[in-house]
Structure 1
Amino acid sequence: MQKDPDGETAGDAVADEDKDRLIAQIMETQRRLQYLFAHDRSNPLFDAHLTMPQLKILLMLAAGGGASGQELQRFMGVSLATVTGIVDRLVAHDLVERHEDPNDRRVRRVMLTPHGRQTVERIIMAGAERQARVLCRMSAADLGVVLRATELLVGAAEADAAAERAGENLR
């Protein structure tokens, strides 16, 4: 098979087009699924009475286990004073607490309280009951396909997260 100046064969270009088409179809299907589940997810978001910056901080803390004010500042892209105000409000609502960093007493680490963890869990898991009902409508064979696809997706997401932490970028 002949290669073009970039070293690709005509088959490579077709495979890339197929891959791009499949990715677009998966993204559209996922978008439709998100809309179908959206109303189940909205209740805990509205019940929590959180601003978007507060929600972002809670989600970051849930993913990372805790952060310093400077880490939150970098993540949010706002001033340290702004982060302090957001964290103060989260502390007042018993969603986060500040602790002295064991490695540096000058640094205060922000961590979720049990109530904060429960709030984040409710938001993340919203719609799980409906998702289980939807899955119950599927055959065992189809559930096996969904399980395998989900495992592949999680594996790719974990690899992407590891590459991001290592400073790599695929695109």
Structure 2
Amino acid sequence: MPRSMARRSLLVALPLLFLGACVQTGPMGSMAPGVIGPVAPGSAWANAVGTVTGTDGLVANPMWNAEFSGPGFRSDLAQSLSRAGILTAGGTYRLNADVQSVTQPQTGTRVQVAMVVHYTIHDATGLAVFDQTVTTSYTSPLGQAVRGVDRLRIASENAAKDNIALLLRSLGASAEGAPTGGPL
């Protein structure tokens, strides 16, 4: 009798376990690097950019419920550029950030997200004065979160933080990217 009860309990618990894996977490957190140092006052990029635009070439993976938002990314990018002393209301340049891809896994205990963003900065005449593609990836191991959807969110946020940090460094600011992944 105890063996059949264990089987019944298992039959009831398994579907609930799978349903729990489908529950959506909260929205993405900040994709802006935590520590940003400004560009030098005499830098060509100091207070030079006035607007941030872009397009989204990414397709969300329907198997996962992590939310990645191109507009959210650009908002955090703009905030980061402002903190670095690059973005200001009077800036004459336009920074375009095209999210070309965000690659997310189907499954796994170690979730790695890769992100490719093409950045261009245009002057008032439309001439590109800066053109760079930044590719970053972040791996969130099982030790960072138990649920796969949480590891996916963490990896997505941190791949974006690293991407923005690399851009800021290219423009002469200092920025720390994402912390390294946790154990396992």
Alignment TM-score, normalising by the size of structure 2: 0.25
Q: Which structure ranks higher in relative contact order (CA pairs < 8 Å, sequence separation ≥ 6)?
A: 2
Structure number with higher helix proportion: 1
Structure number with higher strand proportion: 2
Higher gyration radius (CA): 1
